[in-house]
């Protein structure tokens, strides 16, 4: 005789297998999850590229400022060294001097911006490096425990599947087929306990006669509300 308790116990095995398979998938995802590490590495690469550009801009600005300062020094020697005596030439030299000073001021402003940006990028790159080390250390520390958990879950799943393979053949093929069909259609809940006349699958109160028939039946009874197989406690 097939009892509803046998079906309920089979469902419990299926639930136990499913929960451990889910835990195994989660453990393997954590073992192989390098998304945070890769994100930091991508940020490092971006910051490194930006820093190289900022340093190149800084060097270009430094060279420009140095060049302008040399031109101003040469011009000052001509103006104040008595080499320029013609009023028009002196006026032109003064205009040139003012223009070079303006250029130098602009280049110095650009140099300051490049220096500030370089410092910010260097700090960001340093922080990213520290973050990467921390993430890699955390992953390395977690890995042995996850590998142990993976093996433990694999062992448990193997034992539970063996128990299911032994229990399933005790059920008539038609009953097993109905059970597995309900397992899919009822979101993994094919067999519901009935406690104090309440089906725990749909939370509906069943008529007393229906509960009595299910309790005394030698076959499989279904809930008249949700269609699940019922096991009367």
Supply the CATH number for residue 120's domain: 1.10.287
Q: Give the pLDDT mean for 21-44.
A: 96
Number of domains the chain contains: 2
Quick check: 30 pLDDT over 80? yes
Burial profile 34-67: b = 16 or more Cβ within 10 angstroms, e = fewer: eeeeeebeebbeebeebbeebbebbeebeebbee
Q: What is the pLDDT of residues 115-152, one digit of tens each?
A: 999 999 999 999 999 999 999 999 999 999 999 999 99
Q: Is there a single domain that holds both residue 226 and residue 190?
A: yes
Task: Say if 212 falls within a structural domain.
Answer: yes
Q: How many whole angstroms separate alpha carbon 177 and alpha carbon 161? A: 18
Q: Which of 115, 147, 169 is the last residue of a domain?
A: 169
Question: Domain residues for 129?
Answer: 34-169
Q: Do 220 and 7 form a contact (C-beta atoms < 8 A)?
A: yes
Task: Say if 122 falls within a structural domain.
Answer: yes
Q: Which of 77, 95, 98 is nearest to 87 (CA)?
A: 95
Q: Which of 150, 169, 188 is the last residue of a domain?
A: 169
Q: Which of 119, 147, 169 is the last residue of a domain?
A: 169
Task: Say if 29 falls within a structural domain.
Answer: no
Q: Is there a single domain that holds both residue 45 and residue 132?
A: yes
CB neighbourhood size of 14 (10 A) = 20
Q: Is there a single domain that holds both residue 185 and residue 110?
A: no
Q: Do 101 and 72 form a contact (C-beta atoms < 8 A)?
A: yes
Q: Is there a single domain that holds both residue 125 and residue 69?
A: yes
Task: Say if 25 falls within a structural domain.
Answer: no
Q: Is there a single domain that holds both residue 218 and residue 121?
A: no
β-partners of residue 229 are 191, 222
Q: What is the pLDDT of residues 62-93, one digit of tens each?
A: 999 999 999 999 988 888 887 777 888 878 88
Q: Do 230 and 195 form a contact (C-beta atoms < 8 A)?
A: no
Quick check: 1 pLDDT over 60? no
pTM of structure: 0.71
Compute, in degrees rounded to 10, the torsion defined by CA atoms 133, 138, 140, 143: -160
Q: Is there a single domain that holds both residue 149 and residue 205?
A: no
The one-character DSSP state at 229 is E
């Amino acid at each position: 005789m097939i009892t509803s308790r046998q079906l309920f116990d089979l469902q419990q095995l299926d639930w136990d297998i499913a929960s451990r398979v889910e835990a195994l998938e989660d453990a393997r995802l954590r073992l192989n999850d390098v998304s945070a590490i890769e994100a930091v590495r991508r940020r490092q690469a971006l910051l490194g590229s930006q820093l190289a550009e900022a340093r190149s801009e800084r060097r270009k600005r430094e060279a420009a400022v140095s060049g302008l300062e040399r031109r101003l020094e040469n011009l000052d020697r001509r103006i104040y060294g008595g080499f320029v005596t013609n009023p028009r030439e002196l006026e032109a030299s003064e205009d040139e001097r003012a223009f070079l000073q303006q250029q130098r001021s602009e280049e110095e402003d650009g140099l300051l911006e490049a220096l500030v940006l370089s410092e910010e990028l260097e700090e960001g790159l340093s922080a990213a490096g520290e973050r990467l080390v921390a993430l890699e250390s955390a992953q390395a520390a977690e890995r042995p425990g996850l590998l142990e958990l993976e093996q433990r879950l694999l062992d448990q799943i193997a034992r539970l599947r063996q128990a299911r393979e032994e229990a399933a053949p005790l059920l008539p093929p038609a009953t097993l087929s109905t059970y597995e069909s309900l397992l899919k259609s009822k979101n993994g809940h094919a067999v519901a306990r009935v406690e104090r006349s309440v089906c725990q699958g749909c939370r509906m109160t069943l008529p007393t006669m229906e509960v009595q028939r299910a309790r005394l039946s030698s076959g499989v009874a279904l809930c008249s509300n949700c269609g699940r197989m019922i096991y009367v406690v």
